[in-house]
Amino acid sequence: MFFSIIAIGVIYQTAYQEVIMSEKNFIETLLSHRSIRQFKSQQIAPDIIEQLVDVARFASSSNHLQCISIVRVMQPQLRHELMLCASGQAYVESAAEFWVFCADFNKHKQICPEAQLDYTEVMLIGAVDAGIMAQNVLAAAENLGLGGVYIGSIRNQIEKVGELLNLPEYVVPLFGMCLGYPDQNPPLKPRLPQELMFFENQYRPLDKEMLNDYDKEVAEYYKKRSQADMDWSRNVVKTLGKPVRPQVLGYLQKQGFVKK
Protein backbone atom coordinates (compact mmCIF):
# COMPACT_ATOMS: atom_id res chain seq x y z
CA MET A 1 0.00 0.00 0.00
CA PHE A 2 2.79 2.39 0.99
CA PHE A 3 4.66 1.79 -2.25
CA SER A 4 1.44 2.24 -4.23
CA ILE A 5 0.96 5.67 -2.66
CA ILE A 6 4.56 6.57 -3.54
CA ALA A 7 4.05 5.35 -7.11
CA ILE A 8 0.90 7.43 -7.49
CA GLY A 9 2.75 10.45 -6.10
CA VAL A 10 5.56 9.98 -8.59
CA ILE A 11 3.07 9.71 -11.46
CA TYR A 12 1.29 12.92 -10.43
CA GLN A 13 4.57 14.77 -9.95
CA THR A 14 5.81 13.65 -13.38
CA ALA A 15 2.54 14.72 -15.01
CA TYR A 16 2.72 18.09 -13.26
CA GLN A 17 6.29 18.64 -14.44
CA GLU A 18 5.28 17.77 -18.00
CA VAL A 19 2.46 20.33 -17.86
CA ILE A 20 4.85 23.01 -16.57
CA MET A 21 7.39 22.15 -19.26
CA SER A 22 4.68 22.25 -21.92
CA GLU A 23 3.54 25.69 -20.72
CA LYS A 24 7.12 26.92 -20.68
CA ASN A 25 7.73 25.66 -24.21
CA PHE A 26 4.58 27.40 -25.46
CA ILE A 27 5.63 30.70 -23.85
CA GLU A 28 9.03 30.33 -25.48
CA THR A 29 7.30 29.76 -28.81
CA LEU A 30 5.32 32.98 -28.41
CA LEU A 31 8.42 34.95 -27.42
CA SER A 32 10.38 33.66 -30.41
CA HIS A 33 7.83 34.70 -33.05
CA ARG A 34 9.27 35.79 -36.38
CA SER A 35 7.45 36.46 -39.62
CA ILE A 36 8.43 33.71 -42.07
CA ARG A 37 8.52 34.58 -45.77
CA GLN A 38 10.50 31.66 -47.16
CA PHE A 39 8.94 28.21 -47.00
CA LYS A 40 9.95 24.66 -47.81
CA SER A 41 7.98 22.80 -50.47
CA GLN A 42 6.72 20.36 -47.82
CA GLN A 43 2.93 20.32 -47.53
CA ILE A 44 1.07 20.42 -44.22
CA ALA A 45 -0.63 17.17 -43.26
CA PRO A 46 -4.46 17.14 -43.29
CA ASP A 47 -4.67 16.32 -39.57
CA ILE A 48 -2.61 19.42 -38.75
CA ILE A 49 -4.84 21.55 -40.96
CA GLU A 50 -7.85 20.17 -39.10
CA GLN A 51 -6.23 21.02 -35.76
CA LEU A 52 -5.55 24.58 -36.90
CA VAL A 53 -9.13 25.00 -38.09
CA ASP A 54 -10.37 23.79 -34.70
CA VAL A 55 -8.01 26.20 -32.95
CA ALA A 56 -9.62 28.94 -35.04
CA ARG A 57 -13.15 27.76 -34.27
CA PHE A 58 -12.56 27.79 -30.52
CA ALA A 59 -11.08 31.28 -30.38
CA SER A 60 -12.83 33.88 -28.23
CA SER A 61 -15.73 35.62 -29.98
CA SER A 62 -17.61 38.75 -28.97
CA ASN A 63 -21.13 37.83 -27.83
CA HIS A 64 -20.55 34.38 -29.34
CA LEU A 65 -21.31 35.92 -32.74
CA GLN A 66 -18.62 33.80 -34.44
CA CYS A 67 -18.47 36.37 -37.23
CA ILE A 68 -15.26 35.20 -38.95
CA SER A 69 -14.95 32.92 -41.95
CA ILE A 70 -11.70 31.66 -43.46
CA VAL A 71 -11.20 31.05 -47.16
CA ARG A 72 -8.46 28.48 -47.78
CA VAL A 73 -7.04 29.24 -51.23
CA MET A 74 -5.89 26.11 -53.05
CA GLN A 75 -6.16 26.94 -56.77
CA PRO A 76 -2.75 28.04 -58.18
CA GLN A 77 -4.25 30.65 -60.52
CA LEU A 78 -6.30 32.15 -57.70
CA ARG A 79 -3.20 32.23 -55.51
CA HIS A 80 -1.39 34.07 -58.31
CA GLU A 81 -4.15 36.64 -58.63
CA LEU A 82 -4.19 37.22 -54.88
CA MET A 83 -0.41 37.53 -54.88
CA LEU A 84 -0.72 40.35 -57.42
CA CYS A 85 -3.35 42.02 -55.23
CA ALA A 86 -0.92 41.78 -52.30
CA SER A 87 1.76 43.90 -54.00
CA GLY A 88 3.45 40.88 -55.58
CA GLN A 89 4.55 39.19 -52.36
CA ALA A 90 5.78 35.89 -53.80
CA TYR A 91 5.24 33.86 -50.63
CA VAL A 92 1.48 34.17 -51.12
CA GLU A 93 2.06 31.66 -53.92
CA SER A 94 4.95 29.65 -52.47
CA ALA A 95 3.62 28.95 -48.96
CA ALA A 96 2.03 25.55 -48.38
CA GLU A 97 -1.14 27.27 -47.21
CA PHE A 98 -2.75 30.66 -47.82
CA TRP A 99 -5.83 31.55 -45.78
CA VAL A 100 -7.92 34.72 -45.99
CA PHE A 101 -9.67 35.81 -42.79
CA CYS A 102 -12.97 37.56 -43.44
CA ALA A 103 -15.38 39.46 -41.25
CA ASP A 104 -18.58 37.60 -42.09
CA PHE A 105 -21.99 38.89 -41.03
CA ASN A 106 -23.79 37.48 -44.07
CA LYS A 107 -25.07 34.47 -42.17
CA HIS A 108 -26.19 36.75 -39.34
CA LYS A 109 -28.22 38.86 -41.78
CA GLN A 110 -29.93 35.72 -43.01
CA ILE A 111 -30.77 34.68 -39.46
CA CYS A 112 -31.82 38.19 -38.44
CA PRO A 113 -32.94 40.24 -41.49
CA GLU A 114 -33.39 43.33 -39.29
CA ALA A 115 -29.75 43.13 -38.07
CA GLN A 116 -28.27 46.64 -37.96
CA LEU A 117 -24.88 45.86 -39.45
CA ASP A 118 -24.08 49.33 -40.76
CA TYR A 119 -22.82 50.61 -37.39
CA THR A 120 -19.05 51.10 -37.09
CA GLU A 121 -18.99 48.97 -33.95
CA VAL A 122 -20.04 45.91 -35.97
CA MET A 123 -16.94 46.15 -38.14
CA LEU A 124 -14.81 46.69 -35.03
CA ILE A 125 -16.23 43.47 -33.59
CA GLY A 126 -15.35 41.66 -36.79
CA ALA A 127 -11.82 43.05 -36.91
CA VAL A 128 -11.13 42.22 -33.26
CA ASP A 129 -12.52 38.69 -33.57
CA ALA A 130 -10.47 38.10 -36.72
CA GLY A 131 -7.28 39.17 -34.97
CA ILE A 132 -7.98 36.91 -32.02
CA MET A 133 -8.76 33.94 -34.25
CA ALA A 134 -5.78 34.41 -36.53
CA GLN A 135 -3.35 34.77 -33.65
CA ASN A 136 -4.68 31.54 -32.19
CA VAL A 137 -3.94 29.85 -35.51
CA LEU A 138 -0.45 31.31 -35.93
CA ALA A 139 0.59 30.60 -32.34
CA ALA A 140 -0.61 27.00 -32.62
CA ALA A 141 1.10 26.61 -36.00
CA GLU A 142 4.41 27.88 -34.63
CA ASN A 143 4.12 25.54 -31.68
CA LEU A 144 3.80 22.68 -34.19
CA GLY A 145 6.99 23.69 -36.00
CA LEU A 146 5.34 25.74 -38.73
CA GLY A 147 5.89 29.38 -39.56
CA GLY A 148 3.74 32.07 -41.04
CA VAL A 149 3.22 35.71 -41.92
CA TYR A 150 0.19 37.99 -42.03
CA ILE A 151 -0.69 39.55 -45.39
CA GLY A 152 -2.49 42.81 -44.73
CA SER A 153 -1.57 44.02 -48.20
CA ILE A 154 -4.54 42.20 -49.71
CA ARG A 155 -6.39 45.36 -48.67
CA ASN A 156 -4.39 47.24 -51.30
CA GLN A 157 -6.97 45.88 -53.75
CA ILE A 158 -9.63 44.89 -51.28
CA GLU A 159 -12.54 45.07 -53.73
CA LYS A 160 -10.80 42.83 -56.27
CA VAL A 161 -9.94 40.34 -53.52
CA GLY A 162 -13.61 40.27 -52.58
CA GLU A 163 -14.53 39.57 -56.19
CA LEU A 164 -11.91 36.84 -56.58
CA LEU A 165 -13.21 35.08 -53.47
CA ASN A 166 -16.85 35.60 -54.46
CA LEU A 167 -17.65 37.33 -51.17
CA PRO A 168 -21.31 38.37 -50.81
CA GLU A 169 -22.66 41.45 -49.07
CA TYR A 170 -21.72 41.76 -45.40
CA VAL A 171 -18.46 39.85 -45.88
CA VAL A 172 -15.08 41.63 -46.03
CA PRO A 173 -11.55 40.19 -46.49
CA LEU A 174 -9.42 41.61 -43.69
CA PHE A 175 -6.04 39.93 -44.15
CA GLY A 176 -4.35 36.81 -45.40
CA MET A 177 -2.00 34.38 -43.70
CA CYS A 178 0.75 32.28 -45.25
CA LEU A 179 1.59 29.05 -43.43
CA GLY A 180 4.25 26.43 -44.06
CA TYR A 181 7.49 24.90 -42.88
CA PRO A 182 10.14 27.63 -42.48
CA ASP A 183 13.06 27.75 -44.89
CA GLN A 184 14.73 30.66 -43.12
CA ASN A 185 15.67 31.67 -39.58
CA PRO A 186 15.38 35.46 -39.39
CA PRO A 187 16.47 37.38 -36.27
CA LEU A 188 13.91 38.57 -33.75
CA LYS A 189 12.62 42.06 -34.49
CA PRO A 190 12.97 44.37 -31.45
CA ARG A 191 9.70 45.32 -29.79
CA LEU A 192 8.77 48.41 -27.80
CA PRO A 193 9.98 48.18 -24.21
CA GLN A 194 7.27 47.46 -21.69
CA GLU A 195 7.48 50.98 -20.29
CA LEU A 196 6.27 52.42 -23.61
CA MET A 197 3.21 50.20 -23.96
CA PHE A 198 2.17 48.80 -20.57
CA PHE A 199 0.78 51.37 -18.13
CA GLU A 200 -0.73 51.14 -14.66
CA ASN A 201 -4.04 52.87 -13.91
CA GLN A 202 -3.67 55.62 -16.51
CA TYR A 203 -1.99 56.44 -19.79
CA ARG A 204 1.58 57.67 -19.57
CA PRO A 205 3.09 60.29 -21.92
CA LEU A 206 5.72 59.18 -24.41
CA ASP A 207 9.21 58.98 -22.89
CA LYS A 208 11.34 60.56 -25.64
CA GLU A 209 14.64 59.36 -24.20
CA MET A 210 13.41 55.76 -24.05
CA LEU A 211 12.00 56.11 -27.57
CA ASN A 212 15.38 57.33 -28.79
CA ASP A 213 17.08 54.27 -27.28
CA TYR A 214 14.53 52.01 -28.94
CA ASP A 215 15.05 53.72 -32.29
CA LYS A 216 18.77 52.99 -32.05
CA GLU A 217 18.05 49.32 -31.32
CA VAL A 218 15.69 49.05 -34.30
CA ALA A 219 18.13 50.88 -36.57
CA GLU A 220 20.83 48.35 -35.68
CA TYR A 221 18.43 45.51 -36.41
CA TYR A 222 17.59 46.83 -39.89
CA LYS A 223 21.24 47.52 -40.62
CA LYS A 224 22.20 43.93 -39.80
CA ARG A 225 19.18 42.37 -41.52
CA SER A 226 19.12 44.25 -44.80
CA GLN A 227 21.56 47.17 -44.60
CA ALA A 228 18.52 49.46 -44.54
CA ASP A 229 18.70 52.91 -42.96
CA MET A 230 15.52 52.80 -40.88
CA ASP A 231 14.36 53.05 -37.28
CA TRP A 232 10.95 52.71 -35.63
CA SER A 233 10.00 56.40 -35.60
CA ARG A 234 10.88 56.84 -39.28
CA ASN A 235 8.92 53.69 -40.08
CA VAL A 236 5.88 55.22 -38.35
CA VAL A 237 6.24 58.38 -40.44
CA LYS A 238 6.73 56.34 -43.62
CA THR A 239 3.57 54.32 -42.94
CA LEU A 240 1.21 56.89 -41.45
CA GLY A 241 2.49 60.12 -43.00
CA LYS A 242 0.34 59.59 -46.09
CA PRO A 243 -3.19 58.34 -46.82
CA VAL A 244 -3.53 54.73 -45.66
CA ARG A 245 -5.58 52.66 -48.14
CA PRO A 246 -8.29 55.30 -48.64
CA GLN A 247 -10.19 52.88 -50.90
CA VAL A 248 -11.08 50.65 -47.96
CA LEU A 249 -13.87 52.84 -46.58
CA GLY A 250 -15.82 52.85 -49.83
CA TYR A 251 -15.60 49.07 -50.09
CA LEU A 252 -16.68 48.58 -46.48
CA GLN A 253 -19.72 50.76 -47.11
CA LYS A 254 -20.47 48.94 -50.37
CA GLN A 255 -20.51 45.68 -48.39
CA GLY A 256 -22.95 47.16 -45.88
CA PHE A 257 -20.68 48.36 -43.08
CA VAL A 258 -19.46 51.59 -41.41
CA LYS A 259 -22.32 53.88 -42.43
CA LYS A 260 -23.11 55.06 -38.89
- Residues 81, 132, single domain; the answer is yes
Q: Are 115 and 61 in a shared domain? A: yes
Which of 131, 128, 111, 109 has the alpha carbon at shortest distance from 62?
A: 128
Specify the CATH number for the domain of residue 160: 3.40.109.10
Backbone phi and psi for residue 100, each to the nearest 5 degrees, phi listed first: -115, 120
- For residue 3, the model assigns a pLDDT of 47
Asked, for residue 109, whether it belongs to a domain, the answer is yes
Same domain, 172 and 203: no
124 with 223, same domain: the answer is: no
pLDDT score at 16: 38
pTM, 2 dp = 0.90
Q: For each successive 10 residues of the chain (260 residues), what is the average pLDDT?
A: 48 44 76 96 98 98 98 98 98 98 98 98 98 98 97 98 98 98 96 98 98 98 94 97 97 98
Q: Please state the domain count of the chain.
A: 2
- Residues 164 and 62 both lie in one domain: yes
Domain boundary among 134, 163, 186: 186
pLDDT at 87: 96
| Parent domain of 120 | 35-186
pLDDT value of position 1: 54
Residue 92 shares a structural domain with residue 131: yes
CA distance 133 to 115: 23
Same domain for 41 and 166? yes
| Residues 42, 139 within the same domain | yes
Flag whether 122 is in a domain: yes
Residues 120 and 151 in one domain: yes
Q: From 154, 171, 186, give the residue that closes a domain.
A: 186
Alpha carbon distance 121, 125 (integer Å): 6
Can you give the length of the chain in residues?
Answer: 260
Is residue 213 domain-shared with residue 146, that is, in the same domain? no
Do residues 108 and 182 share a domain? Answer: yes
Domain identity same for 45 and 123: yes
Which of 186, 219, 236 finishes a domain?
A: 186
Give the whole-angstrom CA distance, residue 136 versus residue 61. 12
Residue 19 covered by a domain:
no
Q: How far apart are CA 258 and CA 260, in angstroms?
A: 6
Q: Rounded to an integer, what distance in angstroms lies between the CA atom of residue 67 and that of residue 69?
A: 7
**Is 3 inside any structural domain?**
no
